[in-house]
Amino acid sequence: MAAAAKLALSHSITKSPSLCSFSKFTADSRGFSVRANACLDAVKQPMSTDLVSLEYADLNLPPADVGHVRIRQHVNPLSSSFSAPAPVPDWKEVFRDPTLPLMVDIGCGSGRFLVWLAKRNPDSGNYLGLEIRKKLVKRAESWVKDLALTNAHFIFANAAVSFRHLVVSYPGPLTLVSILCPDPHFKKRHHKRRVVQQPLVASILDSLVPGGKVFLQSDVLDVALDMRNQFDAESIVMQHIDEVDSSLPCDRDGWLLSNPMGIRTEREIHAESEGGTIYRRLYQKRTT
């Protein structure tokens, strides 16, 4: 955490009567010690937003302007406003080499995750983010421009509607699809809004090249199980990574023990900082 941020956090805590008010001294030294330690722990413990900044610090991303309208955390993908397919871009304009292997991140959120990958792999792959919140796409595209990346692009799109026709038009091979901490839509009547539905699964399987991979994760077990069950049902086409690559260890339930991508997503950082568990699966398309 930057020195200024630490100072501000420390100042806000020491001024908070609920955490660190020592004006009423008590003779109970043990109680005083407990309260003092709690305050020190609060000062030492960085907020999850600070952890995100630290993890992505080397990108030096500027605070791109996305306007003053509040960005909605949850949207209904079944709304008529998201029913129109996204226009197919001119791939020669958005990627320097549109024949490179393509990774598509469905529900890419802020886009930091893909921007980080694109910056580290400038010549070996292209990175496409699909996001249903337009302001996040606008900000991500501004970062791509600021960093002069020629292998990253973001599209405002409802993946359920647009995934197939976008990837079919891409000149190169689709080698990786990720769906990371999608909106859980907790209420049972809203499960139909979840992004992983059979038509999208079929589109992904049809579009991936043999040996291509699907990476799934969620900090909500019910959502992770839902995604797992849908891809496990496609075992004729897909196999879980523990069947083909022992270098990626899993627990006894088949969840990956670590993130194989080299960096965590923002939601992943927030969840783990709060003590949550991330449930991960990695599938590979059979080659025969």
Written in H, E and C, the secondary structure of 197-220 is CHHHHHHHHHHEEEEEEEEEEECC
Answer whether 128's CB lies under 8 Å from 105's CB: yes
Whole-angstrom Cα distance, residue 118 to residue 124?
9
Whole-angstrom Cα distance, residue 98 to residue 286?
25
Whether residue 251 lies in the annotated active site: no
Whole-angstrom Cα distance, residue 164 to residue 180?
19
- Three-class secondary structure of residue 135 per DSSP: helix
- Active-site option among 105, 183, 219, 226: 183
Whole-angstrom Cα distance, residue 244 to residue 181?
25
Contacts (Cβ under 8 Å, ≥6 apart) of 71: 133, 135, 136
Catalytic residues: 183
